[in-house]
Structure 1
Amino acid sequence: MKKDVIKKAFQLTFPVMMGYIFVAIAFAVLMKEKGLSPLYSLLLSIFVYAGAMQFAAVELLSSGAGILSAAIMTLMVNIRHIFYGLSLIEPYKKMKKEKYYFIHSLSDETYSILCTQDKNDRPLLLLIGLFNQLYWIAGTLIGSWLSEYLFFDTTGIDFAMNALFLVIFVEQWQTVEHHFPAILGIVLSLVCLVVFGQNQMVIMSMILILASLLAYRKLKGVN
């Protein structure tokens, strides 16, 4: 793999690194506070790698929740990834075995970067996902180590994931020329929150946002 591709991937993911490491540290600290082994933290970051769902998993694991409850919770928290995948079907088709890791590493922040890149540059796309997961794993390891030797007041620490989402949104707002999709997403999300309530707003807002963006593309004649 060319050095310039590696360099570009690192440059693109550097802002994510600064967020992921600290958010993953928060995750590992919460796991330790709940009496869960650091090994669980590492395995979740490697094989689950689901950001917000890993924070939800802290309570699920510590409370002894059943498999069905965990499955339903995971579906609800990560339902948005269905819509991410729909917009990346064509790049998936062009990949071989590497597409399975590409799918596994598709986090919110990774998706936000991929949206601004050439979808035919598969080595770059894969490196973006790989680097971001490595940052998350590194933060998990650091958090597990720190929690063994330092005391943390974890009040409000679970808000770290929300803060990272906000940072990524601001960065994307500043780097793209057209803000209509972002404004549309905000407006429709708020409408769904009011109409459908907190529990159903994620699914409904994703459906409405996807339908609206498809209609917008058709109206503009974009293929």
Structure 2
Amino acid sequence: MARPGTKTATFRAALPLSVPIMAGFVFLGITCGVYASSLGLPWWMPTLMSIAIFGGSAEFIVASMLPGAFDPLTTFAVVLVVQARHLFYGLSMLEPFKGMGRKKPYLIYAMCDESFSINYSARVPEGVDRGWFMTFVSLLNQSSWVVGCTLGGIFGAMIPLTVQGISFAMTALFVVIFLDQWLSEPCHASSITGLIATAAALLVFGTDNFLIPAMIAILIVVTALRAKLEPIYGTRDDAEGR
């Protein structure tokens, strides 16, 4: 049996929380790989993107632009807008990432939506190094994405496949994550804020432009309520040893 505090024990703590994400990443990665191959890209291109970009939706966008005229500035601008939500994730992780040393650059690079959800809210067992826990979560998630993209690139190059409907797996995954957080949080103010702000932004700005306004609204409201929310969440975290 692995001793508490060892990397093996930390890996075992991170693995169960990462498995649902990994399953979704493999299937969505296959979708991305097949999609890239259907555009005429070589089978290894999805693998390269999954390692160099690791951006999920950004990789679909880059794949669609690669067969066209060379236009790096437009690609950069589009990807920046699509991935701008990571700016808010980064602000939330300033404190958790303190003192991570050599792990910090990779944690920043690999902070996707799902890894952020786990690393920010997970209750790390006593005796488990939080830095290595977050690193294993990020590494497991990215590894599954790389595997999925590679399989999709190979399958797409060998046989014709349809990708319609597979992307809904990640929608279902986000619903499960939200419900799990709803059941575990001591106060639903932040979750309700997210729902209301997102719904309002969707009505005002439409499906193509709602994400950034919703994030800004959530940031403003949660910042305004910070003084009231921190004692509630702080009491819960202290009781759980976080």
Distance 1:11 1:118 in 2: 13
Say whether the 8 Å CA contact 1:52–1:161 is kept in structure 2. no
The answer for the alignment partner of 2:91 in structure 1 is 86
Whole-angstrom CA distance in 1 between matches of 2:198 and 2:154 = 38
Deviations 1:136-192 (A, max 9, x none): 011112212222333212334555544443443344334445433222111101111
**Cα gap change, 1:171 to 1:25, in 2 (>3 Å):** farther
Structure having the higher helix fraction is 1
From the superposition, tell whether residues 199 and 150 of structure 1 become closer, same or farther in structure 2 (CA, over 3 Å): closer
Distance 1:56 1:161, change over 3 A: farther
Q: Structure 1 residues 97, 2: closer, same or farther in 2, change over 3 A?
A: closer
Check conservation: 2:18, 2:140, Cα contact below 8 A: yes
Aligned AA (1:214): T
Deviation, 1:2, is: 2.5
Residue 91 of structure 1, CA deviation: 2.5
Aligned AA (1:165): F
**Offset, 1:38:** 1.9
| Aligned equivalent of 1:108 | 113
Q: Which residue of 2 aligns with 1:25?
A: 30
Q: In the alignment, what sits opposite 2:63?
A: 58
Preserved contact between residue 112 and residue 172 of structure 1 (Cα < 8 Å):
no
2:177 and 2:63 map into 1 onto residues whose CA distance is 24
The verdict on how the C-alpha distance between 1:8 and 1:75 changes in structure 2, with shifts beyond 3 A counting, is same
Q: Number of aligned pairs?
A: 223
Aligned residues: percent identity? 32
User: What is the CA distance between 1:213 and its match in structure 2?
Assistant: 1.3
Q: Which runs of 5+ in 2 are unaligned?
A: 1-5, 235-242
| Corresponding position: 1:212 with 2:217 | no
More displaced 10-residue stretch of structure 1: 83-92 or 109-118:
109-118
Q: Which 4+ residue blocks in structure 1 deviate beyond 4 angstroms?
A: 156-161
> Quick check: which has more Rg, 1 or 2?
2
Greater displacement, 7-16 / 63-72: 63-72
C-alpha RMSD of matched pairs (Å): 2.2
Pick closer, same or farther for the CA change 1:95–1:133 going to 2, 3 Å: same
SS in 2 for 1:90: coil
In 1, distance between residues paired with 2:89 and 2:56?
A: 15
Q: Give the 3 Å change call, closer, same or farther, for CA 56–121 of structure 1 in structure 2.
A: same
By how many angstroms is 1:58 displaced? Answer: 2.0
Task: Report the more deviating stretch, 34-43 or 140-149.
Answer: 140-149
**Distance across 1 between alignment mates of 2:16 and 2:29:** 20
